[in-house]
């Protein structure tokens, strides 16, 4: 009888929550408080930071970047309070990515320069600093600040070599190639793509093949249109 009463009470709460949202179809997918409460009910063993992070990812998938930013920010604050500084840094990079999607370059830059880099410097984490440099390379590339982008991709590559991280080094070379394409230095960009291709073969990885192929197609298109 006791179990039945508990089940009835739970159903009453759920149906009540749904009834309050009949005016807004899909509300349970866009209301952060309602979604987080359900997540907490279903995953009581998980931390608040993990729940907020998951919500941020979900909003990001749906293209609700304002809500995603809010959730990633909450997750980052929770990780900081829990002294999980590596997760704090990676969550802030996700937050800066959301700002990047919104073309809010100033905020994306601010998060990485003022929070992420300071965090990883305090930790003494070269891997974290490397990720921050790569993110800044992406941000400045999108903002068309090419000298800054080139500098940070170069620093990213230097740390990748120090850490002997083959994939990260390939990504730095590809980032530098993207900058050179934007600068219309197509010959130099092609050389970087050749280097990235060789590095990929030596590392026995194919995950960058499509990126290399796409960039070569861009160069070919730009070169043909320039000749025409």
**DSSP reduced 3-state for 140:** helix
Longest dimension (CA), the chain: 83
- List Cβ neighbours of 59 (8 Å cut-off, separation of 6 or more): 32, 65, 67, 68, 71
- List Cβ neighbours of 36 (8 Å cut-off, separation of 6 or more): 51, 52, 55
**DSSP reduced 3-state for 203:** coil
The tens place of each residue's pLDDT in the chain, 228 residues long, gives: 444 444 444 444 333 443 333 333 332 333 444 344 444 444 457 899 999 999 999 999 999 999 999 999 999 999 999 999 999 999 999 999 999 999 999 999 999 999 999 999 999 999 999 999 999 999 999 999 999 999 999 999 999 999 999 999 999 999 999 999 999 999 999 999 999 999 999 999 999 999 999 999 999 998 886 665
């Amino acid at each position: 009888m006791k179990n039945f009463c508990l089940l009835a009470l739970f159903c009453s709460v759920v149906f009540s929550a749904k009834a309050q949202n009949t005016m807004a179809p899909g509300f349970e997918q866009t209301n952060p408080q309602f979604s987080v409460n359900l997540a907490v009910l279903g995953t009581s063993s998980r931390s608040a930071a993990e729940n907020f992070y998951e919500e941020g990812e979900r909003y990001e998938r749906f293209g609700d970047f304002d809500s995603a930013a809010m959730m990633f920010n909450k997750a980052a604050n929770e990780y900081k309070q829990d002294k999980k500084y590596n997760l704090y840094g990676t969550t802030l990079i996700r937050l800066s990515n959301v700002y990047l999607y919104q073309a809010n370059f100033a905020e994306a830059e601010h998060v990485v320069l003022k929070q992420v880099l300071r965090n990883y410097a305090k930790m003494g984490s070269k891997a974290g600093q490397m990720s921050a440099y790569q993110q800044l390379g992406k941000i400045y590339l999108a903002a068309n600040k090419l000298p800054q982008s080139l500098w940070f991709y170069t620093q990213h590559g230097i740390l990748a070599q120090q850490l002997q991280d083959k994939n990260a080094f390939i990504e730095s070379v590809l980032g530098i190639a993207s900058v050179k394409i934007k600068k219309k230095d197509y010959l130099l960009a092609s050389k970087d793509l050749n280097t990235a291709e060789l590095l990929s073969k030596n590392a026995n990885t194919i995950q960058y093949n499509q990126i290399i192929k796409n960039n070569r197609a861009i160069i070919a298109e730009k070169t043909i249109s320039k000749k025409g």
